[in-house]
Structure 1
Amino acid sequence: MVVSTSAADHIYTLRRTPFALAPVIQSFYDHWDPTEKDILLSYLILPLITYKPLHKFLHYAGKKSSLRTMMQEPERLLGLELRIEEFKPITNAALLILRSEMRLVINEDMSVATLGKVQEKNSDEKLLKYARKLAVVFTGENVLSIYRSLGLKSL
């Protein structure tokens, strides 16, 4: 079997590496107030913020934005379950990287707290910004209601 790889394939792989995406997850938690079992939100961050139809909403999201306003246009969430499955291994690896670098701690109640400054050096600025905005959009919601609102029954 011959595998064809182009420069574009390599760039895609480099941009989707857990080392580049770990700071994005940390950026979310840096702007999120820890709540019980919020580690489950880790699995939503990358699938949501990397989905181009959601970028315009996140770009303009502010303190008045909410999960409800995000869901007003259903096309923003198309294929979310499939993207969650696609990003699950990357999310797991990114969480391991963040823990080993002591950039976040996972508490006994499965809440996540950040430690230190987000290492923005090798990350995509837009994704870091969108992760911060997503934390604002999710503010005031609990993990279960977020999953339920997004139509997700399990992880």
Structure 2
Amino acid sequence: MKRPVLIAFAVSTTVGLMVAAAGSTPAAATDSSRATLQFRVQFSPFFFLDLGTPGPSMGDQIISHDLLFDAAGRQVGHDGVACTITDPDGGPEAQCTATFALPGGQLTTQFLNAPPPVKHFAVTGGTGAYRKARGDAVLVENGDGTGSLTFSLIS
């Protein structure tokens, strides 16, 4: 894989994980055990750790730390993301874990990251107000440094 493709892939990865909240308060769904958190996405730089063979290769890391904002533009948290490239040529594709620090606790997620603009995350756990959370999240990348992220939580 050529460097420009990796950069586009890494930006895509980072884009998916830099979040500005469209609403920081969960909106109740059909019953009291469900909540939806919706965020606007704003992107920040990433760090590419080139391990092993020079250039993009299996096992290389993409790492980011992003700030989270609500709809009014206030910072409401941050994330920490670590992705390991698992298929540098065929996708490219990386296996990622991301932790989102939000008011009241943290949410942890896991997902396979590839170039398409829609990413599906599994919510793997949480702390504080999110300690019993499970569910999923969908990230939509707009391609202009912005996007949206929606958590659908069951607790």
Same fold flag (TM > 0.5): no
Normalised TM-score (structure 2): 0.28
Structure with more contact order per residue of length (Cα contacts < 8 Å, sep ≥ 6): 1
TM-score with structure 1 length normalisation? 0.28
Greater share of helix: 1
Q: Which has the higher strand share?
A: 2
